[in-house]
Structure 1
């Protein structure tokens, strides 16, 4: 079984660029680079990863693509481009020439407009991705699920993946209305979902596997093991758990599934979705 981590980040810490790393997250205020992650992957027999943007700039996309060219275990990159900009078609044509670029992401969760995804210029840009064989990672908070459902209805042929299972309120132990939105999204067979980011939506210092189980039960029932992929969200996950704890939690949960289904979740679906 080939294990691939579908979601992690690299950065050279910069106080301005990474302003989202607040005082509560101060342990993230340092560099996190490929050699740091490689040790963790090797310990867990994970063969590779997908590097996902953490900063909204073309510089970030170039940074990740450059790292991928130097470290073979980075199997692909999800970068950032200004999808709504007039310059997007030209930028898309340029960056898509690099086969390591597998998709794009926008940090929609930080947009004050909960219907950001439905802005006409953004929709126009997303419409172009499939022509270049690029995926789109959906990063939202639970409250943005209704707009996300409208958004994906526009693009039945586009490959989407929901990051961090849509960020339910795990710490508060609230299921609804997240469950309703997640199940509605899952009805679209062009949408996958990353089992990632759960520990940081829980109580960082006191979470248990039982806290996560109701959300995993729902997401596995909604998407099925054939459209779910393990992602560590390293190094952000370290706010609440070590890499080894995150991967062990997922592997323990999926023990009830067949070996073939476990292999899908731990790497097969990621390879298929991102064409690795």
Structure 2
């Protein structure tokens, strides 16, 4: 099983600022570069990657995309860039840069933002512009915010969405039942896909073995089916949990019961379709 990684962060601390990184001791020293990623994934079956914006500070979020475009080539097939749909100023101009920057989609961090951010008409109107360009929008909502996600999905039903990190379940807190119910409701929206990524970071310390993850992943598979799930490493944030090499091995084990076609759809083919990546 070969993977196309749709959630590869890169952190270049000598060139950009990332205030959030300083709050995580595991990540607070040094950079996490494309060369580091390549070394870590050698012989792990990663056949392509898509850079996911790494929440650079406000002054740097566009500079991040302009830096990453210079790295695109080989396994790095494009990027999901940061944007600010809540603000009209400069938004259209930022979208116009997309073809020159290898942008395959956009994301706005929402799980650490006020719930009302995505409820504004400016936000939704600008989000529809992304949809009109045929580009997907990655959603990152905490499990408690799934109702807010439903509102956005209903308001922007022509936009293709990807729900990051399986909807950020509270695995450490045992929050399976409410998360499972709200994931079922979210999966009813046909324009929403789900990303199998990042979940070991939400486990209790040393409680992120494959058996610990299996019920959560099984529910995602049941809700979304193999045609609406993509895979991602969430590196280097994955270091807060099991780490990327182990997560790759776990993913193979968690998808092993699927047919080869179903597993390959999740591992790479859905990503190529949703993000419009070359074969």
* TM-score in terms of structure 2 length: 0.91
SS of 1:256's partner is coil
Give runs of ≥4 in structure 1 deviating > 6 Å. Answer: none
Q: Aligned pair 1:91/2:98, yes or no?
A: no
Matches within 5 A, 1:108-187: 108-111=110-113, 113-187=114-188
Cα-Cα RMSD: 1.9
> Contact 1:76 / 1:274 at 8 angstroms: preserved in 2?
no
CA distance in 2, matches of 1:174, 1:217: 15
Match of residue 65 from structure 1:
69
> Contact 2:194 / 2:224 at 8 angstroms: preserved in 1?
yes
CA distance in 2, matches of 1:25, 1:13: 15
CA distance in 2, matches of 1:48, 1:33: 16
> Contact 1:165 / 1:219 at 8 angstroms: preserved in 2?
yes
> Contact 1:179 / 1:218 at 8 angstroms: preserved in 2?
yes
TM-fit CA distance, 1:12: 1.2
Moved more, 146-155 or 31-40: 31-40
Match of residue 271 from structure 2:
270
CA distance in 2, matches of 1:169, 1:274: 28
CA distance in 2, matches of 1:76, 1:235: 18
Moved more, 261-270 or 28-37: 28-37
CA distance in 1, matches of 2:257, 2:23: 40
Match of residue 106 from structure 2:
104
Moved more, 74-83 or 256-265: 74-83
> Contact 1:118 / 1:151 at 8 angstroms: preserved in 2?
yes
Q: Any unmatched runs of 5+ in structure 1?
A: none
Match of residue 254 from structure 2:
253
SS of 1:60's partner is helix
> Contact 2:108 / 2:139 at 8 angstroms: preserved in 1?
yes
> Contact 2:124 / 2:156 at 8 angstroms: preserved in 1?
no
Number of equivalences: 272
Q: Any unmatched runs of 5+ in structure 2?
A: none
CA distance in 2, matches of 1:47, 1:228: 17
* TM-score in terms of structure 1 length: 0.92
Match of residue 12 from structure 1:
12
Residues 2/62 of structure 1: CA separation in 2 closer, same or farther (3 Å cut) = same
CA distance in 1, matches of 2:240, 2:212: 17
Match of residue 48 from structure 1:
48
CA distance in 1, matches of 2:5, 2:93: 31
> Contact 2:66 / 2:101 at 8 angstroms: preserved in 1?
no
